[in-house]
Amino acid sequence: MFDWLANPNRFNRITEKIQPCILVITIITLISGLYFGLFDSPKDYQQGDAVRIMYVHVPSAWLASFLYFSLAISCVFYLVWKHPLADLVSSTIAPIGMLFSVLTLVTGSLWGKPMWGTWWVWDARLTSMLVLFFFYLGYILLSNAFERKIDGSKTASVLAIVGLINLPIVKFSVDWWHTLHQPASIIKIGGPSIDDKMLLPLILMIFALSFFSLYMIILNVKTKLIEKKCEALLLKSNLEKYRKQVKI
């Protein structure tokens, strides 16, 4: 089953069909989310227009965590079943996930300044998200720190799996400790505690950035597969030239 999923040719055939659909969904949800978020959703009675940062901040935070979980699972596939495609997927997910963790921290600071009166506090949620950023950064640095690519991939994969311990802290820190960060308002017992006009653009932006991430991951993996194929062809060509020279 895993060999079937990890076959590069099969991956290319499947993604070739779904990529245009993913792009269309991304564009539609992104435009709709931005429109409803900027022009149709109401101001918050306390935060005013600053609440609109939520439409980027919340989806970015959700994706930073989800992509890290996906990175760790992909690393498990690579370490256990030795699938090269899993390593390519991991190396593609990491920079995208790190980008969303940075976006979460930046938008969180922009949101926190008018609400808390400061750009940064050592809040449990903020601190655990910063730790998540460093796990992403550590994976990227380790994967490129060794002369042999396989050594870097293995070491970075172990780090990524260890970093899973941080995800529950990111999610439940506001429930476990007294923090300035507001608790969950969408996925919670009793249903969402957010106005429907705010909930709609928020969901649309979550879908938009999720499908955008998926599109970029597919695009980058396919690009790396082409690069690998070109490297293999170049190596084969060089070997043939060497054999001819030896015969001469």
How many Cβ atoms are within 10 Å of 145's Cβ, its own excluded? 12
d(CA 26, CA 22): 6
- DSSP conformational letter for 53: G
Coil, strand or helix: which one is 48?
Answer: strand
Check residue 1 and give its pLDDT.
46
Q: What are phi and psi of 193, to 5 degrees?
A: -110, 45
Burial class (CB in 10 A: 0-12, 13-18, 19+), 224: middle
Phi, psi of 61 (to 5 degrees): -65, -40
Q: What is the structure's pLDDT at 183?
A: 63
Calpha distance 159→234 (Å, rounded): 33
| DSSP per position, 28-46 | HHHHHHHHIIIIISPPBTT
Compute CA 130 distance to the chain's CA centroid, rounded to the nearest angstrom. 15
- pLDDT the model gives residue 120: 82
Domain parsing of the chain, residue ranges: 27-247
Task: Answer yes or no: pTM beyond 0.85.
Answer: yes
Confidence (pLDDT) at 180: 65
| Tokens of residue 230, six digits | 């070109």
Q: What are the 10-residue block averages of pLDDT along the chain, 248 residues in total? A: 66 90 97 93 77 91 96 95 90 97 94 81 89 97 91 95 95 76 62 76 95 96 88 76 68
Measured CA to CA, the distance from residue 44 to residue 51 in angstroms comes to 6
